[in-house]
Amino acid sequence: MNRYLQTGASILGILLLFLPWMVGVDGLGPAGEITFGIFLLAAVYWVFEPIPIYATSLIVILLQVLLLSDQGVIDVSSDSYVPERYQVFYGALASPIIILFLGGFTLAAAAVKYGIDKSLTRLLIQPFGSNPKFVCLGMMLSTGLLSAFMSNTATTAMMMTMVIPVIAVLGPKDPFRKGVALSIPIAANIGGVATPIGSPPNAIALTALKEQGIAITFSTWMLLAMPLVLVMLVISWRILVWRFPPSKEPIRLDLSETFQWTRNATIAVWVFVGTALLWITEALHGVSSTVVAFIPLVVLTATGALSATDIRRYPWEVLWLVAGGLSMGVSLKNTGLAEWLIGLVAWENLPVFSIALLFVAVAYSVANLVSNTVTASLLIPLATGLGAAGALGPGASIGTLVLLIGIVVSFSMMLPVSTPPNAIAMSTQLIKTKDMATAGALVGIVAVALCVLSYLFFWPMILG
């Protein structure tokens, strides 16, 4: 069955690629029609996954180079479209935001290699004592902090190895077992929102904002997102404690320190601290976070703290996935497709607030079923199209809408397939899908409400 669905999706994608161009679309030039085809193919492949999602991203870039660039095999130039330089599409693979993520991967790889993440967690959990309720809060805050700088997946995997021994102590009847097991993926999903490098959808949002002329620094992003993250971590903790009440039995974590201050580990610690500080203080020194991101790469490889083997272990496919989304965004804008798609709906009759709610509802639902990055890649260019089509009316900001979509997708965590942290937590067999669905839905609803409130009242204050 699954196989038929996949074959069907593969064929459907290819048909849809050619359809707009063959049939012809009123109001779109040949370039727009081709971009429409690429957009449809990407949507079908990203959602049904007949091939891995990063492979779809690479197809997008190849199709753009072949069909829409100055090196293309067909001529799509028209009054409204001058073929883009092919370097623009390839360039997505090394765009500054991708370099920012590369810097993040580098710090994460060093943290994992020298056990900095584990030691930091031990340090952070210590003050929370042995009351199960507060130990759980401590673990959630640590998970949130780590996943703000490392991949949510790696953070979850590490935290689960720390949590499983605790759960074993709790005894099979204790409802809090489930609460603890759920607390990690939930906190990791939430923590990814906190910094630009926390999670790939943030990259899509940041790039779209930059194209709108809104340059957001590392610290501005943190200012926009951090209050939301902290409040959500505490609320999620309350939800878990309420749904899965802990007993009073104290739990003892093994917090014995194992960190070795070897030469390389010391270098890694200082590079980590230094980079983070430079990122946060961008407003003081003015060096962009995307420039700072290259420093850890240079220092850690030059000193040998990271070897070629370590570099090979980076999740490179994540960068490609994001790059495909960025590259597609370029053509959606330049060929006028985003504007045209938006023009299909008579937005003028809708109040701005309803438009935002519509995007939030779609983003939240879709991201529960498919990758958050994919959801952001498909929806954010459309949202910026609203601005180009003048559908939002005077005074409304595209910037906050883009931010809203980019952040809401990270709070979609109802199902095991919603996010990789969810899948990892499920794989330990400590929780049932039902538990995850209820807790995830409760956290999601509160988070979406808070996002919308931030969109209305908090973010406009900062973005002006």
Partner 1 sequence: MNQVYVLCVDDDPEDLRQIEKDLAGIGESFPIEYAESAEAAQPIIAHRNEEGDVPGLIICAHVLSGENGVDFLIRVNSDLGFVDTRKMLITRNATFDDTIKGLNEGRLNYFLSKPWKSDELAQIVKEQLTEYFIRARKNPMPQIEALDSMRILDAIHKGLIPREV
Residue 40 or 424: which CB sits closer to partner 1?
Answer: 424
- Nearest CA to 183 out of 450, 365, 441, 421 is that of 421
- Our finding on whether 305 is near partner 1 (CB under 8 A) is no
Residues 220-259 that bind partner 1 (CB under 8 A): none
Instruction: Choose, by CB under 8 A, the member of 158, 337, 356, 391 that binds partner 1.
Output: 158
CB atoms under 10 Å from CB of 79, counted, come to 6
Instruction: Choose, by CB under 8 A, the member of 36, 39, 54, 237 that binds partner 1.
Output: 54
- The set of residues, in sequence order, having a beta carbon less than 8 Å from that of 181 and lying 6+ positions away, is 160, 163, 167, 425, 428, 430, 431
The one-character DSSP state at 245 is: -
Number of residues that bind partner 1 (CB under 8 A): 30
Taking the complex as a whole, the smallest distance from the CB of residue 171 to partner 1 amounts, in Å, to: 19
Q: Encode burial over 347-383: b for 16+ CB neighbours within 10 A, e otherwise.
A: beebebeebbbebbebbbebbbebbbbbbbbbbbbbb
Letter for the amino acid at 417? V
- Our finding on whether 9 is near partner 1 (CB under 8 A) is no
Instruction: Choose, by CB under 8 A, the member of 64, 147, 151, 189 that binds partner 1.
Output: 151
- Our finding on whether 423 is near partner 1 (CB under 8 A) is yes
- Our finding on whether 56 is near partner 1 (CB under 8 A) is no
Taking the complex as a whole, the smallest distance from the CB of residue 129 to partner 1 amounts, in Å, to: 26
Residues 86-145 that bind partner 1 (CB under 8 A): 109, 112-113
- Our finding on whether 219 is near partner 1 (CB under 8 A) is no
Taking the complex as a whole, the smallest distance from the CB of residue 101 to partner 1 amounts, in Å, to: 12
- Our finding on whether 4 is near partner 1 (CB under 8 A) is no
Per-residue x/- marks for partner 1, 424-453, CB under 8 A?
x--xxx------------------------
- Our finding on whether 200 is near partner 1 (CB under 8 A) is yes
Beta bridge partners of 69: 84
Q: In this structure, what are the phi and psi dihedrals at residue 59, rounded to the nearest 5 degrees?
A: -60, -45
* Cβ atoms of 406 and 205 closer than 8 Å: yes
DSSP states along 46-58? HHH-SS-HHHHHH
Taking the complex as a whole, the smallest distance from the CB of residue 411 to partner 1 amounts, in Å, to: 17
CA 365 – CA 414 distance, rounded (Å): 10
CA 250 – CA 253 distance, rounded (Å): 10
Letter for the amino acid at 57? S
Taking the complex as a whole, the smallest distance from the CB of residue 4 to partner 1 amounts, in Å, to: 11
Taking the complex as a whole, the smallest distance from the CB of residue 274 to partner 1 amounts, in Å, to: 23
Residue 146 or 341: which CB sits closer to partner 1?
Answer: 146
- Our finding on whether 183 is near partner 1 (CB under 8 A) is no
- Our finding on whether 379 is near partner 1 (CB under 8 A) is no
Instruction: Choose, by CB under 8 A, the member of 88, 157, 203, 405 that binds partner 1.
Output: 157
CA 67 – CA 244 distance, rounded (Å): 55
The torsion region of residue 159 among left (phi > 0), alpha (psi -120 to 50) and beta comes to alpha
- Our finding on whether 154 is near partner 1 (CB under 8 A) is yes
Residues 352-371 that bind partner 1 (CB under 8 A): 371
Q: Encode burial over 57-68: b for 16+ CB neighbours within 10 A, e otherwise.
A: bbbbbebbbebb
Structural tokens at position 218:
């590392």
Taking the complex as a whole, the smallest distance from the CB of residue 5 to partner 1 amounts, in Å, to: 12
Residues near partner 1, by CB under 8 A: 2-3, 53-54, 109, 112-113, 151, 153-154, 157-158, 160-161, 164, 200, 313-315, 317-318, 321, 371, 373, 420, 423-424, 427-429
